[in-house]
């Protein structure tokens, strides 16, 4: 429901204009990444867990990108089960937040609650409640509170590294 999303964004201090922005995507739980030689950020929210699938959470995702400020956002369905450059299906151009929310709700078959977006993926309500309860364990609070371990961890809206990047780091001898 768009009113739930607007209320959530307002509670985070985001002034809602109805237009999709990078700041709003970040607040909704989307993660950004860029492929090699790609000039702009692409924002991804994985939907696999919210659809009731018990395979990979990357079985279904929604990806957004824009090429100029104030322009429409390109919107794709994405499946990353085969890793890099796998399956993209262009859905349509989006301009408003309500269009994005309705698309997510149509794909998942459930009301969109941004509080259930964790680690770059939309979780089912039951899974999100379990993950929030686990996060309150004392040992995990001590582990995750504090300073990031690496420079890339300072931007929590950044997506995980791609398989090719990890393999290149191992070949270069900078990772195991």
> Per residue in 3-12, pLDDT tens?
667 677 667 6
Q: What is the pLDDT of residue 151?
A: 64
pTM: 0.70
* pLDDT confidence bin for 84, thresholds 50/70/90: low
Q: Give the angle 41-47-53 at the CA atoms, nearest 5°.
A: 150
Out of 10-24, 55-69, 103-117, 159-173, give the one with best mean pLDDT: 103-117
Alpha helices in the chain (DSSP H): 2-11, 22-28, 97-108, 125-135, 138-144, 163-171
Question: At 126, is the secondary structure helix, strand, or coil?
Answer: helix
Tell me what the mean pLDDT of segment 102-128 comes to: 87
- Identify whether the C-beta of residue 116 lies closer than 8 Å to the C-beta of residue 128: yes
Q: Which residue has the higher pLDDT, 66 or 145?
A: 66
Whether 60 has a pLDDT exceeding 70, the answer reads yes
Q: What is the pLDDT of residue 96?
A: 86
Express each pLDDT in 29-52 by its tens digit: 999 887 777 778 889 998 888 887
Tell me what the mean pLDDT of segment 96-124 comes to: 88
């Amino acid at each position: 429901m768009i009113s739930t999303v607007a209320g959530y964004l307002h509670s985070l201090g985001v002034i809602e204009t109805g237009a999709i922005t990078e700041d709003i995507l970040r607040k909704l739980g989307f993660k950004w990444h860029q492929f090699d030689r790609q000039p702009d950020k692409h924002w991804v929210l994985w939907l696999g867990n919210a659809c009731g699938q018990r395979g990979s959470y990357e079985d279904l995702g929604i990806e957004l990108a824009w090429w100029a400020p104030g322009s429409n956002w390109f919107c794709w369905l994405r499946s990353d089960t085969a890793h890099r450059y796998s399956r993209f299906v262009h859905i349509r151009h989006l301009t408003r937040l309500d269009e994005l929310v309705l698309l997510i709700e149509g794909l998942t078959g459930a009301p969109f609650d941004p509080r259930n977006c964790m680690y770059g993926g939309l979780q089912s309500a039951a899974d999100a409640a379990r993950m929030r309860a686990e996060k309150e364990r004392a040992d995990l609070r001590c582990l995750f509170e504090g300073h990031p371990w690496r420079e890339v961890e300072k931007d929590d809206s950044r997506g995980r590294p791609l398989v090719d990047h990890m393999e290149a780091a191992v070949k270069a001898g900078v990772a195991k």
